[in-house]
Chains A and B, each alone.
Chain A
Amino acid sequence: MTIEDELADAMKAHVAGVQAAPDLGRSVRRRHRAHVLRFRVGGAALLTVAVAAAVPVVVNSSEPATTPNAASGQDRAVMLPDVTVPDVTGKRGTEAAAILRQAGLVTSISGAEVRDGRVTGQEPAAGLQVAHGSHVSITIEPPVQMPQDLGDLGDGREFGGIRLDYLPEGLEWGKWSGKDGFGKHSYTTSFVKPGAEPGHYAVQAIVFEGEATEQLFANFPKKDAEAFDAGGRQAWLATLSEGGEAVAHGSEGGTLTILLELRDGLAVEVCVSPDYAKEVDGAVELKKIAEGVRAIK
């Protein structure tokens, strides 16, 4: 058997027992209503649109209302008062469930492990108006074990043969480092705001050396990026989508990323997390970081 066949076989076996739930249609329509409701908080102009769009769903009688504690779509939209989703992120799972119950919401847990760890995400987000009795899905994640491939880096500015002379104020080393995750001879670490949640970052830097640079240059969408000069070195700035393509700056889920070619066979990629980019001018900071990168060997 070729590796392709073996892989196909393994994939087939892996999902063979999986069937979509029979009530999927109901769940999708319930989500749709939640989505429409979400527009209500958008303001008066949107309200007209949302109502117009919601009508066919609300009067749709084909959906059986069998969920306990939940009224029919019509009742929910017309009779029951909406509730505001509380913020339960950072709380322990059991605590979050109690808070949600008090607010008149039902907790469902997403995520592989159901432990009483900290809530790292919730859907819908806090502050949204949703129907009484709606499900709020929370994600509980066990603590992340961060790798320490490069050991104690002190302030973290020197690693993989480079030094970052400039970093935005108020950031500290993320106290982890990875090796070869982006190809052979690649090194990475991140910088965080003090007290940041595990797994989150403000700025991440990746050094590529030798053959790792080939992969980097093959993947980075240079032609759609803004080319500029960073202290006499060639650099490119782009907002990359989850799929790695260049998208418009400020796009939802996009990550501002800079690629800097220090010399042949040595390049650095630096990105600003979407969260941190809301607090600082990501493009300006990245350019400053790029100018302050130097090779130390």
Chain B
Amino acid sequence: MTDDDEAAFDEFLAARSTSLLRTAILVCGATKHDAEDLVQHALEKVYRNWPRIRRDNPEAYAKKVVVNAAISKARRRKVVQEITFARPPETAAGSPDLDLRDTLIGELRRLPPRMRAVLVLRYWEDQSESSTAALLGCSVGSVKSQAARGLARIREHLNVAKEVTR
């Protein structure tokens, strides 16, 4: 790694790390602390391969590593995770006085990690269906169906919450 490589890596971090961290927080549904750990881990991978990838869209590479690490992290706690969204919808939707945004984030967290990643990439990052598919290594069809199912699930839970708190 040359001094030039090092400097370019620092520039890359300055420009992209906050956005990577935000993506990680949304995808793994974790705290900032956990997500920081994950992003550092992912960036270490980027750093390791830096001389090779720096001229070849390092951001996409880094994002891919971060998103997939976030999915893995969320899935590693699989048993716990599955339980969380196995609760009946009445208790799932959260208390009525919660802000809609909090409720939405709560619902987002309860989705399976991959589905959540699709929603984050599509609607927060505003990635196209095909670039979301490329980042997650799946087909465009799968992105479409995961997005539709994720939104439907959130919508359904919100409706149930409204019914219950009426």
Nearest CB of B to A59, in Å = 10
Q: Given that A149-B86, A188-B82 are known contacts, is A112 also in contact with B44, CB under 8 Å in the complex?
A: no
Nearest CB of B to A115, in Å = 14
A57 & B1 in contact (Cβ 8 Å cutoff): yes
Tell me which of B6, B88, B105, B158 contacts A14 (CB under 8 A): B105
**Complex Cα spacing A251 to B25, Å:** 26
The yes or no answer to A199 lying at the interface (CB within 8 A) is yes
Residue of B nearest to A5 (CB): B123
Which residues of A are found within 8 Å of B151, using beta-carbon distances? 3-4, 7
Which residues of A are found within 8 Å of B82, using beta-carbon distances? 178, 181-182, 188
| Chain A 24-60 residues near chain B, CB threshold 8 A | 24-25, 27-29, 31-32, 35, 56-57, 60
**Complex Cα spacing A6 to B85, Å:** 21
A10 & B104 in contact (Cβ 8 Å cutoff): yes
**Complex Cα spacing A15 to B123, Å:** 14
The yes or no answer to A222 lying at the interface (CB within 8 A) is no
Which residues of A are found within 8 Å of B95, using beta-carbon distances? none
The 10 closest A-B pairs by CB, nearest first: A181-B86, A20-B17, A10-B104, A15-B22, A242-B72, A10-B101, A178-B86, A11-B124, A31-B44, A8-B123
The yes or no answer to A62 lying at the interface (CB within 8 A) is yes
A111 & B18 in contact (Cβ 8 Å cutoff): no
Q: Given that A7-B119, A10-B105, A244-B114 are known contacts, is A180 also in contact with B86, CB under 8 Å in the complex?
A: yes
The interface of chain B, by Cβ under 8 A from chain A, is 1, 3, 6-7, 9-10, 13, 17-18, 20-22, 25-26, 30-34, 36-37, 39-41, 43-44, 47-48, 68, 71-72, 75-77, 79-80, 82-83, 85-88, 100-102, 104-105, 108, 113-114, 119-120, 123-124, 126, 136-138, 145, 151, 154-155, 158
Which residues of B are found within 8 Å of A90, using beta-carbon distances? none
| Chain A 70-110 residues near chain B, CB threshold 8 A | 110
Interface on chain A toward B: helix, strand, loop, or mixed SS? mixed
Which residues of B are found within 8 Å of A62, using beta-carbon distances? 3, 6-7
**Complex Cα spacing A60 to B50, Å:** 15
Which residues of B are found within 8 Å of A243, using beta-carbon distances? 68, 71-72, 75, 114, 136-138
In the complex, which of the residues B48, B102, B151 has the most CB atoms of chain A within 10 Å of its own CB atom? B48
A-B contact count (CB 8 A): 147
Nearest CB of A to B45, in Å = 9
**Complex Cα spacing A61 to B113, Å:** 40
B68 & A21 in contact (Cβ 8 Å cutoff): no
In the complex, which of the residues B9, B22, B80, B120 has the most CB atoms of chain A within 10 Å of its own CB atom? B22
Nearest CB of B to A291, in Å = 25
Tell me which of B7, B40, B105, B108 contacts A24 (CB under 8 A): B40
Nearest CB of A to B17, in Å = 4
Subset of 19 A-B contacts with CB under 8 Å: A4-B123, A10-B100, A11-B105, A15-B26, A20-B17, A20-B20, A24-B13, A24-B40, A25-B10, A25-B13, A28-B43, A110-B34, A112-B31, A146-B83, A181-B83, A182-B86, A199-B80, A201-B79, A243-B137
Nearest CB of A to B138, in Å = 8
Which residues of A are found within 8 Å of B87, using beta-carbon distances? 147
**Complex Cα spacing A8 to B21, Å:** 17
**Complex Cα spacing A137 to B10, Å:** 24
Which residues of A are found within 8 Å of B34, using beta-carbon distances? 110-112
Which residues of A are found within 8 Å of B37, using beta-carbon distances? 110, 123, 137
**Complex Cα spacing A31 to B138, Å:** 30
